[in-house]
Amino acid sequence: MGVVLVAATDLGVKAWAVNGLQDRVISLGVVDLRLAYNPGVAFSVGAGAPAWLVLTVTAIVTAAVGVVAWRTAAASTNGRLAALALVLGGATANLADRAADGVVTDYLRSGWFPTFNLADTAIVTGAALLVLSTLRQPAPATPSENGTIGAR
């Protein structure tokens, strides 16, 4: 459900941005709402590559994230599930956006950082939460010298 919520929210905001930001910029202080299109992936990497190649690689990576989320869901904590939902929801939204015309719609501009969108924010936040949840996991139980199982 979280994946659908993240993807739907991002795609809705992108649709609004395409219609509402064509010839204008809305200043929000720290960021401006400014329409841009990215033919590449993060930081416009691969912007010169053929659109079909970027779409294919993006689809493979998104599918891999989906498989990891599905295979680990039963053993995951709520925090880890939320993190996976953010990453997968953001990746799915960007993939769906790119599938339409070969580019991803961006609309958040800070002036000192490349223009991005809500899906990008979800992916980065989810990835950071995954790293934090991994660092906070207790060490796995290991056999001790006397044969009993205990934590390291």
The catalytic residue positions are: 106, 120
Q: How far apart are CA 152 and CA 144, in angstroms?
A: 8
Give per-residue pLDDT as tens, 25-78.
999 889 999 999 988 787 677 778 888 888 898 899 899 989 988 888 887 788
Give per-residue pLDDT as tens, 6-20.
999 999 999 999 999
Give per-residue pLDDT as tens, 136-145.
766 566 666 6
Q: What is the pTM of this model?
A: 0.81
Q: Is 23 exposed, middle or buried (0-12, 13-18, 19+ CB in 10 A)?
A: exposed
